[in-house]
């Protein structure tokens, strides 16, 4: 289990007991160290048990998590970018923090439907007619004998 709380923003932090970390072997560069040391981190976060999120925030968090969301309601973040376990652990925690901050932002307001002005419509149609006329003039030339 993760022992440290994760500060998200002032006045809000995730309790350490809501996250579990597992260290696994990671492929990629690193020489023989790759085969011996578990440097990749799998950080699993359970947003339902914290009580910090409303239902809409939790639903938005799960939607943003995408493939990282599991059927049991948890979010799995895998970090294997770095060669050291500590840097991967920090990377996973930062990525979780970024995901949560994105989910806590209010959704954008819906787009207000607008119509083009009459003048804009007339200018567009006039430009189209002009282009049409130019293209008609590109036709073949008749040669008289």
Q: Is residue 111 part of a domain?
A: no
Cα gap 139→145, rounded to integer Å: 19
Q: Is residue 120 part of a domain?
A: no
Are the CB atoms for 18 and 50 separated by under 8 Å?
yes
Q: How many domains does the chain have?
A: 1
Q: Is residue 57 part of a domain?
A: yes
Q: Is residue 33 part of a domain?
A: yes
Are the CB atoms for 8 and 100 separated by under 8 Å?
yes
Please list the residues that pair with 45 across neighbouring strands.
Answer: 19, 75
Q: What is the pLDDT of residue 92?
A: 93
Q: Indicate which CATH number applies to the domain containing 41.
A: 3.30.160.20
Q: What is the pLDDT of residue 90?
A: 92
Higher pLDDT, 33 or 66: 66
* pTM of the entire predicted model: 0.70
Q: Is residue 117 part of a domain?
A: no
Q: What is the pLDDT of residue 109?
A: 93
How does pLDDT run across 41-99, given as a tens digit for each residue?
Answer: 999 998 888 888 888 888 899 999 989 888 888 999 999 888 888 999 999 999 999 99
Q: Is residue 138 part of a domain?
A: no
Q: Which domain holds residue 42?
A: 6-104
């Amino acid at each position: 289990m993760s022992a440290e709380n994760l500060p998200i923003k002032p006045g809000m932090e995730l309790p350490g007991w809501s996250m579990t970390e597992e260290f696994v072997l990671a492929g990629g560069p690193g020489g023989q160290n790759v085969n011996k040391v578990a440097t990749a981190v799998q950080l699993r976060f359970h947003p339902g048990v914290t009580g910090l999120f409303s239902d809409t925030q939790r639903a938005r968090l799960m939607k943003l998590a995408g493939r990282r969301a599991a059927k049991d309601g948890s979010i799995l973040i895998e970090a294997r970018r770095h060669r050291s376990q500590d840097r991967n652990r920090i990377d996973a925690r930062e990525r979780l923090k970024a995901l949560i901050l994105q989910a806590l932002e209010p959704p954008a307001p819906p787009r207000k439907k607008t119509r083009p002005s009459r003048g804009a419509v007339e200018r567009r149609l006039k430009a189209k007619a002009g282009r049409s006329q130019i293209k008609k003039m590109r036709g073949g030339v008749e040669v008289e004998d």
